[in-house]
Amino acid sequence: RSRLLEITNLKQFLNRRAQHLSGGMQKKLAVTISIIHIPDLLILDEPTTGIDPLSRRELWDFFYELLGENITIIISTPYIDEMERCTRIGFFYNGRLLVVDEPENILSKYPGKNFEEIFTLLINKYESD
């Protein structure tokens, strides 16, 4: 418990109610609560949505710390730039998995300058099939 509080910088807020924390700190608290029992797998649905850039970066630093604890993390995100932070990514469209691989493999396998262009290409291909 103490280690989690240090990693998340929540230790200084121990005596503060959750409703009085910033949006970023509330997200960190929610993730911390979900891993207090040290799961092997953590599934997070858009954990960085609606928080400021600094809190977003701190959450990603926290996720990297968790990876060091051998916790597998699956994250859904609407932010394509966050894909570059992942070891494997998958593109979903209309509930269907279009591709899953390491980011650098996807970038080299498909024509496109970035993930946004590749995602658009995959959607167009899916809709034309």
Do 62 and 94 reside in the same domain of the chain? Answer: no
Do 31 and 68 reside in the same domain of the chain? Answer: yes
Position 25 scores a pLDDT of 83
DSSP secondary structure code for residue 75 in this structure: E
Do 19 and 72 reside in the same domain of the chain? Answer: yes
Do 72 and 108 reside in the same domain of the chain? Answer: no
Amino acid at 98: L
Do 64 and 90 reside in the same domain of the chain? Answer: no
d(CA 70, CA 52): 27
What global pTM score does this model have?
A: 0.76
Do 74 and 17 reside in the same domain of the chain? Answer: yes
* Residues of the domain holding 4: 1-78
- SS3 (DSSP) at 94: coil
Do 59 and 115 reside in the same domain of the chain? Answer: no
Do 16 and 70 reside in the same domain of the chain? Answer: yes
Low-confidence spans in the chain with pLDDT less than 70: 1
pLDDT digits (tens, 9 = 90+) for 73-108: 999 998 888 988 999 999 999 999 999 999 999 999
Do 18 and 68 reside in the same domain of the chain? Answer: yes
| CB-CB neighbours of 13 under 10 Å | 17
